[in-house]
Amino acid sequence: MEREQKRELVKSLHEVFSDTGVIVVAHNTGMTVAEITDLRAQVREVGGAVKVAKNRLVKLALKDTPAESLSDLFTGPTIIAYADDPVSVPKVAVKFAKTNEKLVLLGGAMGEMYLDIDGVKSLAALPTLDELRGTLVGLLQAPAGKVARVISTPPGQLARVISAYSEKSDAA
pLDDT in tens, the chain (172 residues): 788 888 888 898 888 888 888 999 999 888 899 999 999 999 999 889 999 888 899 888 888 888 888 888 888 889 999 998 888 899 999 999 999 889 899 999 988 888 888 988 988 888 877 787 888 887 777 776 666 665 666 666 667 767 777 777 776 6
Beta strands across the sheet bearing 22-27: 49-51, 78-83, 22-27, 104-110, 113-115
HSE of 111, CA atoms in CB hemisphere, 13 A: 3
